[in-house]
Amino acid sequence: MIGLSQFIPQLKVGFLITYIAPLAFVLCITLAKEAFDDFQRKRKDLELNNKKYEKLKKDGTFKKVNGANIKVGDIIKVYQNERIPADMVLL
């Protein structure tokens, strides 16, 4: 609010840059942090989507499929201490 009030000549106290620069600095740092977090999240998502899981076929054998190719109703073999997708239900 103070930064916006500096655009009105009657309310102007000092230089405009002294009000806008700190705000711009904080916004740039926050933007960089969010971009880094999004990049890390995308990298983890790609890693899990490319992970191989064993899917039970109709003939009773197992076939290796990528995590991205798992569909609703697929039966997946899960091993001890193995990471699984968050939307998988254990039966």
* AA letter at 64: K
What would the pLDDT profile of 41-70 be if each residue is shown by its tens digit?
999 989 888 889 999 999 999 999 988 888
Using alpha carbons, select from 3, 23, 25 the residue that is nearest to residue 13.
3
Same domain, 2 and 40: yes
Identify the band that residue 6 occupies on the pLDDT scale cut at 50, 70 and 90.
confident
Same domain, 40 and 64: no
Model pTM score: 0.60
Say whether pLDDT at 27 is over 90. yes
pLDDT winner (highest mean) among 11-15, 59-63, 71-75: 59-63
Identify the band that residue 32 occupies on the pLDDT scale cut at 50, 70 and 90.
very high
Q: Return the H-helix or E-strand segment holding 62.
A: strand 62-66
Same domain, 25 and 42: yes
**Domain stops at, among 32, 49, 66:** 49
Q: Within the chain, what is the greatest distance between any pair of CA atoms?
A: 82
Q: Which residue has tokens 């711009």?
A: 24
Question: Which pLDDT value is given to residue 91?
Answer: 67
Domain total for the chain?
A: 2
Same domain, 24 and 43: yes
Q: Give the chain's mean pLDDT.
A: 86
Range of the domain at 37: 1-49
φ, ψ dihedrals at 66, nearest 5°? -70, 155
- Sorted by sequence, the CB contacts under 8 Å of residue 21 that are 6+ apart come out as none
Same domain, 60 and 35: no
